[in-house]
Amino acid sequence: MRIAVLVSGSGTILEAILDAGITVDVVVSDRPCRGLGVASDAGIDAVLVDRSHFGGFGPDFDREAYTEALSEALVERSIDLVAMAGFGTVLGTAIHERFAGRILNTHPALLPAFPGWHGVEDALAAGVSVTGCTVHVATLEMDAGPILAQTEVPVLADDTAESLHERIKAVERRIYPATIAAAADALADGRDIESLIPKYKEATQ
């Protein structure tokens, strides 16, 4: 299986994926960032598909044209599985058509609770005693795809968004690489990634 990882920041999730022994064939970023350096240092094809060439980060951003360009970069490299790792751009239709059911993402909450960009802050604001990390299949609707893995993280009385997020990240760096590996094995065996869902349900019952 040829795996692509999409990054936008420090690349710590990418480092966890590599530390788990997963072979990554290309790393793609939407902006210059440390994650591309992590890829280059590891001898991995590092590709910048820069948002600044598609209208940047404001209202002029051409999401569909950007998504088409990124998708082409993945198709050209014969990618089988896409793993978003702190990727900061919501992608449009093209990638979900070309890689339907083969895009993974991770979210710092127990979906379907607290979707969106502020899952940690929203959990704190709601006063919940437990939140966590979710790995799911990415779909066109943000944070709404089938859940593949979840792990709970307790919310402590003195937690800030930063302290809680750090504990969630520690869990994320463990369950995300494991789920990526399981998804790659499923595809290699001719199974859909969603075949992993029964295992997730059994583990949480």
Flag whether the pTM goes above 0.75: yes
Give the type of residue at 80: D
Q: What is the pLDDT of residue 204?
A: 65
Exactly one of 96, 107, 136, 165 is catalytic; name it.
107
The domain 1-100 is classified under which CATH number: 3.50.50.60, 3.40.50.170, 3.90.190.20, 3.20.20.60?
Answer: 3.40.50.170
Ranges of CATH 3.40.50.170 domains, the chain: 1-100, 106-205
Average pLDDT for runs of 10 along the chain of length 205: 97 98 98 98 98 96 98 98 97 97 98 97 98 97 96 97 97 97 97 87 65
Active site residue 165: no
Peptide bond into 146 cis (omega under 30): no
Query: Residue holding tokens 């789920």?
Result: 179
The answer to whether domain 106-205 has CATH 3.40.50.170 is: yes
> Tokens in use for 77?
């490299």
Strand runs labelled E in 65-124: 81-85, 103-107
